[in-house]
A and B are shown apart, each in its own frame.
Chain A
Amino acid sequence: DARVTQTPRHKVTEMGQEVTMRCQPILGHNTVFWYRQTMMQGLELLAYFRNRAPLDDSGMPKDRFSAEMPDATLATLKIQPSEPRDSAVYFCASGLVRGGGWVEQFFGPGTRLTVL
């Protein structure tokens, strides 16, 4: 049963600290997303990669956020420095696009981040 994994599941940190979240996508999927969910804004797309190439990070505050995919089994989202307004659940999702359309897309369990 293939699934997306994320670490850590929970993170509490102080303002100004660096936070790194990791995601292992489903083997064979060619697209990886980072989403953020808050009560106020709902689910928002931060960035995504296709075949490991970054395609869109327009949803991400670029002065503090960075997303990378160093290899096909690992995607990272880093916040430096973190701020209280970054507190949210961060989801990684992986999916398969073929022939111009989606075949499937699945979410990881999320990282619940609290910045004090």
Chain B
Amino acid sequence: GQNIDQPTEMTATEGAIVQINCTYQTSGFNGLFWYQQHAGEAPTFLSYNVLDGLEEKGRFSSFLSRSKGYSYLLLKELQMKDSASYLCAVSRASAYSGGGADGLTFGKGTHLIIQP
């Protein structure tokens, strides 16, 4: 099976930086996604890491260490609109014919609260 852990809740200040960690245990690792989800809305794609290292995209960066089963999402210059849940999700290589990747297994999400 798969096990994905991330903190339940974090609080940060507007304009600051916050790092949301995610640890996972899985076989056949195929990639790690981060999604943002505002209350009552669908998850929206933030990043996808397959190889070790840091991927930067504007104010958001995501890091992956496959050997440690560890990822983090870094949010800079925090804005009030960044208050949301952040979901870490792991993809495995498909066990089915044709290869490809399986559906995602999600962590429970980290509820991020931004304070003025």
Q: Give residues in A with beta carbon < 8 Å to B.
A: 31, 33, 35, 42-45, 48, 50-51, 55-56, 91, 97, 100-102, 104-110
**Tally of chain B residues near chain A (CB < 8 A):** 29
CB distance A109 to B42 under 8 Å? yes
List B12-54 residues whose CB lies under 8 Å from chain A. Answer: 30-31, 33, 35, 41-45, 48, 50
Q: Is the interface of A mostly helix, strand, loop or mixed?
A: strand
Q: Tell me if B60 counts as interface (CB < 8 A to partner A).
A: no
Complex-state Cα separation, A55 to B102, whole angstroms: 9
Task: Give which listed residue, B50, B91, B101, B106, contacts A42 with CB less than 8 A.
Answer: B106
CB distance A100 to B43 under 8 Å? no
List B97-116 residues whose CB lies under 8 Å from chain A. Answer: 98-109
For residue B68, give the distance in angstroms from its CB to the closest CB of chain A.
20
CB distance A101 to B50 under 8 Å? yes
Q: Tell me if B80 counts as interface (CB < 8 A to partner A).
A: no
For residue A90, give the distance in angstroms from its CB to the closest CB of chain B.
11
CB distance B96 to A102 under 8 Å? no
